[in-house]
Chains A and B, each alone.
Chain A
Amino acid sequence: MDYQTPQDRQYTKSHEWVKIDGSTATVGISDYAQHALGDIVFVELPDVGASFGVGDAFGVVESVKAASDVYLPVSGEIIEINEALLDAPETVNSDPYGAGWLAKVQLSADASDLLDPATYAQHVAEEASK
């Protein structure tokens, strides 16, 4: 199984992606993650204005038989959430790196410990073979 791993962003071991643009970042879950969860039926997102540290659970992505916390790859304050997902959670399945983004964050510190696309692809390959 091949999973998309776009080159223009970074990843976490828990399968989130983050795209940093100056002092803000957009976050979502990876193609592998949406695939592992299956049909996504509900997305729970934080309130705009809430602050989180690196690795904090800031949302939940649910399929029929699983609920998966989503961890913030960076620290900062939520400045925008993808409200379209509340009515169309399946967008996370169909376009995880585009219209299926989850939240935008105002960074409070420089990001660290993120995986580059090649390292993440390697990590996915290992997980998938388990």
Chain B
Amino acid sequence: MNTYEPPIFELSGSGKVGASLPAVGVPTSELPSELLRTDDLQGLPELSETEVVRHFTRISQRNFCIDTGMYPLGSCTMKYNPKIHEEAARLPGFAHIHPLQDEASVQGALRLSYELQQLLAEIAGFDEVCLQPAAGAQGEFAGILVFRAYHLDRGDEQRDEVLCPNSAHGTNPATAAMVGFKVIEIATDARGNVDLADLRAKVGPRTAGLMLTNPNTLGLFDEHVQEVAQIVHDAGGLMYGDGANFNAILGIVRPGDVGFDFMHYNLHKTFTTPHGGGGPGCGAVGCKAFLAPYLPGPIIHHENGQYTRYVPEKSIGRVKSFMGNFGMFVRAYTYIRMLGAAGLREISENAVLNANYLRVKLQDVYPVAYDRPCMHEVVLQGKLKDAPDIHTLDIAKRLIDFGFHPPTVYFPISVAEAIMIEPTETESKQNLDAFIAAMRQIAHEAVETPEVLHAAPTTTPVRRLDEVGAARKPVLKYDRAAIAALRGQAASTDDQIVRPTY
């Protein structure tokens, strides 16, 4: 795992091909010479299929992944990704159909999408679902655009503010700003809830809505969520639910039943479509009937055995091409159909059980940000007694040497030295116990041998990386001289660099 793999450009050799292509097979036509590319694609490498496969296999082995071990990134829900999902999404009638085909020729795909809409609506307590948004951030964007359209449609034009708790994920304020709203931050109270007094002081006739993650990013279910919704609604505002943490409450409570008007689902979190090293995701959205006319489209409709697409009458418009990330629909659909209602509730029960177990087993060493039962994740602080020079970053890096992916760190920003742990329901007690033992051992090392933490990780393909240098002198693409300079070597003028032998 520790072997260096050179940039792919350094494996290139003139004349090699890595794909088998057909002959042109028809009489050729004249090419418009003035429109041709003139550089002969000099920037592209030439490799055999063998070399390409070996290169990417080798770099893949420099990754940690869920199938390697516990990956407790808070608010990311890194649960096991079932293998059947990958088979399902690759069925020819799903993977190889064109999005603009005649509806009659894609009834199976439309039916699956329609049924997924219905399933998601039922699970979260909403009336209508649109599957189009590509990620949570795009679901938020669709939702806040819907809020804007709703208020404007009612002639309510002075609402130019969106409220976000200070524990909110960065996408919430960024989304509100992208729609043109002013962002108003709301404080958190001593128990980790929305501070009702601060909310009352800031809500008003200019409030378009409140964006709330519940359970919130502190891993806590807001104890006054219904009251929060009441206050916002009384002021004429709308309630946006960020579904990032929906994994805690499947079959436990429906956001639509506690006052949310609109919500995005993260199919790549809750419904375990794989994270793919950063995407693709799916940020499907659900809402109450009164907001449905503003949803993006198309949405799937079912009547007389026929599945068709429609765009709601006052739609904000489409947020991306076609219907959305259909490959993710197939995976989420498979998951929900295999689990059923009881299976979904088990997910949340075990996710919450696992997080609380970690909480009680670690809170004597790592301060908990808010001392009360958590939901699917727990926020600790990397502030250890008698270890003043140890920070959360050191603890995270040292965890790597114990074989764990670190939790989310330094988020939420409202908690100093935050360590946000989301074990998910798919981890065993054995793994949790090993993680607890590692965390306790690290706390011990922090006092006895802090240099070990400062030096960590030592078991990885690379050690701590120079992020400052990377930002000061960005090298954003392969350049022989720049890479050679980083490696402390003179740039070779030889056209072909010899691949190192292992």
Residues B326-366 near A (CB distance < 8 A): none
A62's nearest neighbour on chain B, judged by CB, is B471
Within 8 Å CB of A65, what residues of B? 410
Q: Does B54 contact A (CB under 8 A)?
A: no
14 A–B contacts from the bound complex (CB under 8 Å): A39-B468, A41-B468, A41-B471, A41-B472, A42-B471, A42-B472, A62-B471, A63-B468, A64-B467, A64-B468, A64-B471, A65-B410, A89-B472, A90-B472
CB distance from B56 to the nearest CB of A (A): 29
A64's nearest neighbour on chain B, judged by CB, is B467
Within 8 Å CB of B410, what residues of A? 65
A38's nearest neighbour on chain B, judged by CB, is B468
Within 8 Å CB of B468, what residues of A? 39, 41, 63-64
Give chain A's interface residue range (CB within 8 Å of chain B): under 10
B467's nearest neighbour on chain A, judged by CB, is A64
Within 8 Å CB of A41, what residues of B? 468, 471-472
Ranked 3 nearest A-B pairs via Cβ: A41-B471, A39-B468, A64-B467
Give the size of the chain B interface in residues (CB under 8 angstroms). Answer: 5
CB distance from A60 to the nearest CB of B (A): 13
B469's nearest neighbour on chain A, judged by CB, is A41
Within 8 Å CB of A62, what residues of B? 471
Residues B353-411 near A (CB distance < 8 A): 410
Q: Which B residues are within 8 Å of any A CB, using their own CB?
A: 410, 467-468, 471-472
CB distance from B362 to the nearest CB of A (A): 25
Residues A53-76 near B (CB distance < 8 A): 62-65
Residues A84-125 near B (CB distance < 8 A): 89-90
Give bound CA distance, A62 to B474, whole Å.
14
CB distance from B177 to the nearest CB of A (A): 14
CB distance from A128 to the nearest CB of B (A): 14
Give bound CA distance, A64 to B410, whole Å.
14
A90's nearest neighbour on chain B, judged by CB, is B472
CB distance from A32 to the nearest CB of B (A): 19
Give bound CA distance, A63 to B470, whole Å.
11
Within 8 Å CB of B471, what residues of A? 41-42, 62, 64
New contact pairs (11) apart from A39-B468, A42-B472, A63-B468, CB-CB < 8 Å = A41-B468, A41-B471, A41-B472, A42-B471, A62-B471, A64-B467, A64-B468, A64-B471, A65-B410, A89-B472, A90-B472
Within 8 Å CB of A90, what residues of B? 472
CB distance from A100 to the nearest CB of B (A): 15
A65's nearest neighbour on chain B, judged by CB, is B410
Within 8 Å CB of A42, what residues of B? 471-472
CB distance from B31 to the nearest CB of A (A): 44
CB distance from A129 to the nearest CB of B (A): 14
Give bound CA distance, A65 to B409, whole Å.
12
Give bound CA distance, A39 to B472, whole Å.
10
Give bound CA distance, A42 to B470, whole Å.
11
Within 8 Å CB of A64, what residues of B? 467-468, 471
A39's nearest neighbour on chain B, judged by CB, is B468
Give bound CA distance, A26 to B472, whole Å.
25
Give bound CA distance, A108 to B467, whole Å.
41
CB distance from A44 to the nearest CB of B (A): 13
CB distance from A16 to the nearest CB of B (A): 22
Give bound CA distance, A99 to B272, whole Å.
53
Within 8 Å CB of A39, what residues of B? 468
